[in-house]
């Protein structure tokens, strides 16, 4: 580890802290209807779609609208991908996407996961990239933000189970947040050298005299929203390690900053909307502690390198002429510190874009992104998903605190009773149940093992990572698993849908139940949710819940791989 590396990580952390309040205030004003500078456009959209933005929807209607909207957009994407060969804006004359990949891709992008079992530059036409994949980057992020705001409303008011209007929340999040921010970000990327064109692919002659094909396309516009919306799907197979996506160290910084930007602001928005900004900052602090622990572990492990390499004469010590550590799979422009930071942030926030290959990290370095996802998108998390995930964890934390003192638990003046705990536990159990079940089946079944390029504990880690990533709306991957098979396209596509919508529905039910409750003043038995005790207990609950659930699988994968590496053994 170097001073320069730590300074870059510290600079990022300060930037995320500084953006939280101003963006959080703006987000609160967007969702309460105060921001209306695009009101004419907003009204036209409501009129065209037959939406009454003033309708206050019961949680069941809100959830139904979200599910129906997502289903229709998913089916539309499936049809376009299957018809890609006969549609315009396809200068490379790319074939239709196979049925199994069309299903997986449409499910994945609808769920804000963006898992890709294909190389974008050799599979997707410009039309598919722009009108379907980039489109989902906007609306899937807006859906996540809308659901998070609905949960906050359920906590903040008493409304007979009503949570606002899904279509109004979806429209406002898109119009006033995602579109303007992504437009500005795209211009920044273009200025730095990210390409944005509709040219056919170029064939050039290299300095060695060989022929090479350079993929072209509208990259900057997709790059900006993939980061802001914590989507992660790359225009190119190399994702943010590709110089046409991220050409400079500044674009690398802006990429990782934009991943945390909106999730950080949403936490402050939450505190403002429930009229307890100190609680919002306490939640932000708990998230930061988890983030800092992860990036420290990843950076330490990658900077330390592989002792087996050191024993064979490789210099692992950083110097002015040697990066040291484990440079396998790293983009040499960004180095170990920025690779560890990017890997931590992208898996904290369910983004999934990468500037280094996680499969090439050391066992502990690869363990960090895996655990980040298994925590359940609660370390700032995806756009919207991180906020409602941490709120569910807070409900469980307050419930446990209430049991400790023998009182009915209260949160923000509302009692936490049986059905609220049931919905929170259903939310918490769906996630590990689908991951561990499908991972176990894939280890046992021949089609699951056939996709492995590695055996032993690392092979298990690759399967576990794939199902964790897709259930967590992340989309990053250990590169050693061949996912473009009928078995994995089908199981990972289903896993993506369950991990997204199977958790959103009980969360919205929890929001509706909380909205029905009266707000009571704080009493001597109310557990404080603003101090260090709360932060420590919340972090402990998040870690214990994940550790107890996933530790056996982790022990058979990255942990045993680390112990073997330190003993000098190679599988």
Measured between alpha carbons, how far is 156 from 152 in angstroms, rounded to an integer? 6
- 167-177 pLDDT per residue, tens: 999 999 999 99
pLDDT at 119: 87
pLDDT interval class at 85 (50, 70, 90): very high
Measured between alpha carbons, how far is 83 from 70 in angstroms, rounded to an integer? 20
Strand partners, 452: 481
Measured between alpha carbons, how far is 411 from 276 in angstroms, rounded to an integer? 12
- 27-64 pLDDT per residue, tens: 999 999 898 899 999 999 999 999 999 999 999 999 99
pLDDT at 525: 65
Average pLDDT, the chain: 90
pLDDT at 158: 82
State the burial class of residue 13 (Cβ atoms within 10 Å of its Cβ: 0-12, 13-18, 19+). Answer: middle
pLDDT at 571: 54
pLDDT at 409 over 90: no
- 509-568 pLDDT per residue, tens: 999 999 998 887 776 667 888 889 999 999 999 998 887 899 999 999 899 988 888 876
Pairing of strands 211-214, 410-411: unpaired
Tallying the residues shown for the chain, one arrives at 571
If we measure between CA atoms, which residue out of 174, 101, 188 comes closest to residue 134?
174
pLDDT interval class at 186 (50, 70, 90): very high
The DSSP element (H or E) to which 252 belongs, if any, is: helix 249-273
Q: Locate 332 and state its tokens.
A: 């040499």
pLDDT at 256 over 70: yes
State the burial class of residue 187 (Cβ atoms within 10 Å of its Cβ: 0-12, 13-18, 19+). Answer: middle
If we measure between CA atoms, which residue out of 336, 291, 330 comes closest to residue 2?
336
pLDDT interval class at 372 (50, 70, 90): very high
| 535 alpha carbon, distance to own chain's centre | 23
| Domain spans of the chain, in order of start | 21-270
- 434-490 pLDDT per residue, tens: 999 999 999 999 999 988 888 888 889 999 999 999 999 898 888 788 888 999 999
pLDDT at 570 over 70: no
pLDDT at 260: 94
pLDDT at 314 over 90: no
The least confident of 289-303, 339-353, 392-406, 531-545 is 392-406
- 203-225 pLDDT per residue, tens: 999 888 899 999 999 999 999 99
The DSSP element (H or E) to which 212 belongs, if any, is: strand 211-214
Measured between alpha carbons, how far is 177 from 560 in angstroms, rounded to an integer? 44
Measured between alpha carbons, how far is 164 from 292 in angstroms, rounded to an integer? 35
Pairing of strands 202-205, 211-214: antiparallel
For residues 383 and 263, the answer to whether their CB atoms sit within 8 Å is: yes
Q: ∠ at Cα 275 (274, 280), nearest 5°?
A: 70
If we measure between CA atoms, which residue out of 469, 193, 195, 427 comes closest to residue 333?
193
Tell me the mean pLDDT in the region 278-301.
Answer: 94
**329 to 302, 339, 341, 360, 478: CA distances (angstroms):** 11, 9, 14, 5, 11
Q: ∠ at Cα 232 (445, 37), nearest 5°?
A: 140
Measured between alpha carbons, how far is 364 from 373 in angstroms, rounded to an integer? 15
């Amino acid at each position: 580890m170097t001073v320069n590396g730590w300074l870059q990580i510290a600079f990022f952390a300060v930037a995320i802290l500084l953006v939280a309040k101003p963006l959080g205030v703006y987000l609160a004003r967007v969702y309460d209807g105060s921001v209306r500078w695009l009101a004419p456009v907003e009204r036209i959209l409501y009129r065209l779609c037959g939406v009454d933005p003033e309708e206050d929807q019961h949680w069941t209607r809100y959830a139904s609208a979200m599910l129906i909207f997502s289903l229709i957009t998913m089916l539309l994407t499936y049809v376009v991908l299957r018809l890609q060969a006969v549609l315009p804006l396809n200068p490379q004359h790319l074939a239709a996407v196979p049925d199994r990949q069309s299903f997986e891709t449409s499910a994945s992008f609808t769920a804000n996961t963006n898992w890709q079992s294909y190389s974008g530059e050799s599979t997707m036409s410009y039309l598919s990239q722009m009108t379907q994949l980039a489109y989902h980057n906007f609306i899937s992020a807006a859906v996540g933000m809308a659901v998070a705001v609905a949960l906050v409303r359920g906590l903040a008011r008493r409304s007979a189970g009503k949570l606002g209007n899904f279509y109004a929340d979806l429209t406002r999040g898109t119009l006033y947040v995602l579109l303007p921010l992504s437009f500005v970000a795209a211009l920044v990327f273009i200025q730095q050298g990210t390409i944005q064109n509709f040219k056919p692919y170029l064939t050039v002659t290299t300095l060695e005299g060989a022929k090479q094909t350079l993929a072209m396309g509208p990259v900057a516009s997709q790059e900006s929203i993939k980061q802001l919306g914590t989507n992660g799907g790359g225009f190119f197979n190399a994702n943010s390690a590709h110089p046409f996506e991220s050409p400079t160290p500044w674009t690398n910084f802006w990429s990782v900053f934009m991943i945390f930007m909106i999730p950080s602001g949403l936490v402050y928005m939450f505190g403002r909307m429930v009229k307890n900004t100190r609680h919002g900052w306490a939640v932000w602090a708990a998230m930061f502690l988890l983030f800092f622990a992860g990036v420290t572990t990843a950076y330490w492990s990658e900077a330390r390198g592989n002792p087996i390499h050191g024993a064979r004469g490789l210099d692992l010590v950083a110097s002015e002429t040697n990066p040291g550590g484990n440079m396998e799979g790293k983009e040499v422009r960004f180095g170990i510190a920025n690779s560890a930071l990017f890997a931590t942030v992208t898996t904290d926030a369910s983004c999934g874009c990468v500037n280094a290959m996680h499969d090439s990290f050391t066992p502990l370095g690869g363990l960090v992104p895996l655990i980040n996802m298994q925590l359940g998108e609660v370390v700032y998390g995806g756009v919207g998903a991180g906020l409602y995930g941490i709120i569910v964890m807070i409900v469980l934390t307050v419930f446990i605190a209430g049991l400790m003192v023998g009182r009915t638990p209260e949160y923000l003046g509302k009692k936490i009773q049986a059905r609220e705990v049931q919905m929170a536990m259903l939310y918490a159990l769906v996630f590990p149940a689908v991951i561990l079940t499908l991972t176990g089946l894939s280890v046992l079944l021949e089609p699951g093992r056939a996709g492995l390029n590695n055996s032993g504990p690392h092979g298990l880690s690759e399967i576990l990572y794939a199902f964790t990533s897709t259930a967590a709306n992340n989309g990053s991957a250990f590169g050693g698993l061949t996912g473009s098979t009928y078995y994995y396209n089908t199981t990972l596509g289903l896993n993506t849908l369950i991990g997204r919508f199977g958790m959103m529905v009980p969360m919205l039910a929890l929001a509706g139940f909380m909205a029905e409750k009266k707000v009571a003043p704080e009493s001597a038995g109310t557990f404080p949710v603003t101090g260090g005790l709360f932060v420590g207990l919340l972090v402990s609950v998040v870690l214990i819940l994940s550790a107890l659930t996933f530790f056996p699988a982790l022990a058979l994968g990255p942990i045993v791989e680390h112990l073997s590496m330190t003993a000098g053994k190679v599988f």
